[in-house]
Amino acid sequence: MKRINLFTIILILLLNAFITMALINKYGNKTPETDTFVSQGTSQPSKASSAKRINSITEAVKAVEPAVVSINVIKTEYVRAVSPFGLGFFDFFGSIPLLRQIESIGSGVIYDPKGYIVTNAHVVSGATQIKVILPDKREFSGTVAGIDEIHDVAKVKITGNNLPVAEMGNSNDLIIGEWSIALGNPYGFLMNDSKPSVSVGVISAVNRNFAARQDRHEYKSMIQTDAAINPGNSGGPLVNINGEVVGINTFIFSENGGNIGIGFAIPINSVKTILAKI
């Protein structure tokens, strides 16, 4: 009887040892419960899900974004102050001239590694001081290297090393309905951030012509897009799905100053021709 009990005990111990070794081989030093808890507590997005978020638009933005700059401008304007009392010095001339400094902001894109930036003429016209800020937060003093007031194109020069450059595309083969990406620095003073904003739409129309304006600007063969363009976007690039600059964002139609999805850009082929002349 004692032998039978001893044999049974030994058999139970061997069975327990076998089960323990099997669990160790399957789960390592952790119990199944511990593995489940760790897995739930440290769950991270898989690489597959991140890869799905990368598409042609994100790749296009990645290609051109480093070359999109903020152009901060100080302009000096004359204003005439009129005496509220009609007395003294004012009576001889009606008013006296006063100087006033105005700060404004626009956008631009570096198109030449030597430091040449294309923007709109109305962004830098009359500027007494130009500060160019890159997305990597580097700041440079800029000078107007050429300007065409009529066609609203200007080039600004900065001096720096390892400057990012955007690739110029071809605006002659645009397709109505293809993706368009607008980059720039709308309301940059409020955001205080050198990174450009991105908005996405489509090419709504091409070859839009406009009558001469009071500011003497002439806009011919303009690209129309519904990608959001707002104050501060002027001079920034309109980009295609390949990350190529196909236009320079210039103005919008709006009843209240906000974006309503009708924006216009100067075709980059026209811009290239103008840059070669100024």
Place of tokens 């309503």: 260
Q: Which of 104, 152, 204, 217 is an active site residue?
A: 152
SS3 string, the chain, reads CHHHHHHHHHHHHHHHHHHHHHHHHHHCCCCHHHHHHHHHHCCCCCHHHHHHHCCHHHHHHHHHHHHEEEEEEEEEEEEEECCCCCCCCHHHHCCEEEEEEEEEEEEEEEEECCCEEEECHHHHCCEEEEEEECCCCCEEECEEEEEECCCCEEEEECCCCCCCCCEECCHHHCCCCCEEEEEECCCHHHHCCCCCEEEEEEEEEEEECCCCCCCCCCCCCEEEECCCCCCCCCCCEEECCCCEEEEEEEEECCCCCCCCCCEEEEEHHHHHHHHHHC
pLDDT-based confidence at 100, cuts 50/70/90?
Answer: confident
List pLDDT tens digits, range 240-262.
999 999 999 999 887 666 677 89
pLDDT, one tens digit per residue, over 184-217 is 987 766 667 778 999 999 999 999 998 877 778 8
27 pLDDT band (50/70/90 cuts)?
A: low
Q: pLDDT tens, 107-166?
A: 999 999 999 999 999 999 999 999 999 999 999 999 999 999 999 999 999 999 999 999
More confident call, 145 vs 96: 145
Q: Is 241 exposed, middle or buried (0-12, 13-18, 19+ CB in 10 A)?
A: middle
pLDDT of residue 35: 42
Give catalytic status of residue 217 as yes or no: no
226 is a catalytic site residue: no
Whether the predicted pLDDT of 37 surpasses 70:
no
Dig out the tokens for 19 from the structure: 């089960």
Q: pLDDT tens, 49-60?
A: 778 899 999 999
Contact 246, 267 (CB under 8 A): yes
- Whether 168 has a pLDDT exceeding 50, the answer reads yes
Local confidence band at 33 (pLDDT 50, 70, 90 cut-offs): very low
Could you say which of 171, 197, 234, 270 is catalytic? Answer: 234
> How much is the pLDDT for 226?
95
**All domains in the chain, ordered by first residue:** 64-82+90-157 (2.40.10.10), 167-277 (2.40.10.10)
Q: Select which of 122, 151, 180, 204 is catalytic.
A: 122
Q: What is the pLDDT of residue 261?
A: 82
Q: To the nearest whole number, what is the mean pLDDT of the chain?
A: 83
- Is residue 122 among the annotated active site residues? yes
